[in-house]
A and B are shown apart, each in its own frame.
Chain A
Amino acid sequence: MATKPSLSVERLSRHFPVTTRRWFKTTTAVVKAVDGISFTVGEGETLALVGESGCGKTTTARLILALDRPTSGVIMLGDTNVHDVTGDDYRRYREQVQAVFQDPWSSLNPRMRVREIVSEPLVVNRKRSRREIGERVAEVLAAVGLNPSHADRFPHEFSGGQRQRIALASALSSDPKLIILDEPVSSLDVSIRAQTMNLFRDLQQQFNVSYLLIVHDLAVARYMSDEVAVMYLGKIVEQARTEALFHDPLHPYTKALFAAALPGHPDVQREEIILEGEVPSPIDPPAGCPFHPRCPLKIGEICETVVPQFRPEREGHWVACHLYPEETSAPGAAEA
């Protein structure tokens, strides 16, 4: 929020209908995988979406990548609404938003040479000559620390860390504004993670690209991102600049996540907050605050009935929790 936004998401929702038949009675329920979230990714910055499995972070990524259509809400990249564009505008969008996925073993086509993999975003959008494409491939391969001779090899000749570099080279080739990093290091060996994360950070500066980082590891989020949004059951419950959030988490769920995270040293003493139970099913989410059944700091009935509003508790530090009531005015009750 400090710099001008590169991507902005407003009240984005993705609901999946679920039909269950029992004894010829059909009931239709709705899974609110993503439920009215809003955020922006600043230019050249990294926003981390943090949460446990099933919180909606991956669905959000798919919506932004236009692999799926939202139920409602808008995703704006610059002035274009992602899900409205067609033809040349659509192609331009495809050039400007790229992705690196979690599993380096399945994210590269085993039947394609590295050259074809890296140049694919350029080839399909047919705007450059073959020579330009060749130069660009050499350029991005060099940027990720691979040498030009690697371009003629197949993915199986590379290790996991190298494959993640190839995926990043491919993402960078069309000079995008935004790259979605979906758990980019979680399937890599521990000794490879640091070099990969450092590379991602270095290239962000070099190419002036924004990252949307989907991640479950809080320490990775702290190291990689400028801003962090914490998701729970399809909603963002807290969002702030990284250092502000890690210094003083406000939402009880964020606090519990921090408490649950593994320490960096045996002498680290933390408040013991262990949430009971598991994340409720998104088919039938709890009324009121979605976190109230597990919340150790529940303040009363209001948590069970009223959906807390997502609002700034401090400058740039937003939270959705009844512990932080609005001091004044702001009529119009909580919105879903």
Chain B
Amino acid sequence: MLRYLTKRVGQTIFTLFAVTLIVFSLGRLTGDPATVLMPVEARQEDRARIMQHWGLDQPLHIQYVRYIGNVLRGEFGESLQWPGRDALELVLLRIGNTLELGLAALLFAVAVAVPIGVFSAVYKNSFIDHAGKFIALLGQSLPHFWIGIVFIWIFAVNLRWLPTSGRGTWAHLIMPAVVIGWFQVAALMRLIRSAMLEALDSEYIKLARLKGVRERVVIWKHALRNAAIVPLTYFGIMIAYLVVGSITTEVVFSWPGVGLLVVNAVTARDFPVVQAVTIVFAFVIVLANLIVDVLYGVLDPRIRFE
């Protein structure tokens, strides 16, 4: 277990370094990073200050070391769009809203996907199985940004049941959370279904039935306990998808989160904010992955007692 954990932590750190390296090199893609990091109309002394902050006059590897130092201290520089505001501060101010949305979407996805996944495995080829397959297929084929707009047109513009956009009451949360969560329902449901099918087909389930264990206990204790471990590995990727979903969905619903911030920043060529968002997001995702891995180790005795 300890070995497993140290390995995972090491991989996490490695991934974070890779992210900084990618962002660092992309910032220098154009050849002159100063133009990327500064507004066009920047004054000479601002220019000098930025050159100094990121060490732009130094050779590349020194620049990278300095860059890492700045990232570790949380100094991504000043926003270009909103002069005088620290990029990281802008991100941290809004990350709560994004997490709120992501969590709601996650809960929606799990609450819908687990029962459908379990029942479509238990009642394979039944109506619920076919319905589940259809939901999954649809969920993976609908672009978030489009379904969001269609929802607004139906539920906000025509039916007037829900607010069109913004954040405030729980009613504001429904549409964006469902839009983001739907895609996850599809993937999660399929995973749970196949993991459950595999578990239900195993010898240990046969043995449990031979012991005279009730079918309800066989399914929800013996099979699901094993099947639950498999989709857990997918949670890391799922969180990455939630982030992706949140970016487009926040734009569609004008949700004041990090996604909306970053898209606006891109349009305004506000590179410091963009890189702050990227690195914070990467950090959140990688951390979530780490937590999932630890959970995985705890749930699976084969790893716990490695």
Write the residues of chain A forming the contact surface with B, with a CB cutoff of 8 angstroms: 21-23
Contact = CB atoms under 8 A, between A and B. Distances in A.
A273 B2 CA distance: 43
A21 B2 CA distance: 9
B3 interface: yes
Nearest to A24: B6
4 contacts: A21-B3, A22-B2, A22-B3, A23-B2
Nearest to B7: A21
Closest 4 CB pairs of A and B: A21-B3, A23-B2, A22-B3, A22-B2
Interface string B1-34: 0110000000000000000000000000000000
Contacts of A21: 3
A22 B2 CA distance: 8
A21 to B, nearest CB: 5
A249 to B, nearest CB: 37
Contacts of B2: 22-23
Contacts, number: 4
Contacts of B3: 21-22
- The interface residues of chain B, by DSSP majority, are classed as helix
A10 B2 CA distance: 43
A22 B3 CA distance: 7
A22 B4 CA distance: 11
Contacts of A23: 2
A232 B197 CA distance: 41
A23 B3 CA distance: 8
A23 B1 CA distance: 11
B242 to A, nearest CB: 35
A163 B159 CA distance: 67
Interface in B235-287: none
A21 B1 CA distance: 11
Nearest to A20: B3
Nearest to A23: B2
A23 B2 CA distance: 8
A199 to B, nearest CB: 35
B304 to A, nearest CB: 15
B203 to A, nearest CB: 19
B73 to A, nearest CB: 29
Nearest to B3: A21
B1 to A, nearest CB: 11
Contacts of A22: 2-3
Interface in B136-175: none
B38 to A, nearest CB: 47
A21 B306 CA distance: 11
A22 B305 CA distance: 12
A26 to B, nearest CB: 11
A223 B2 CA distance: 51
A299 B292 CA distance: 56
A89 to B, nearest CB: 43
A21 B5 CA distance: 12
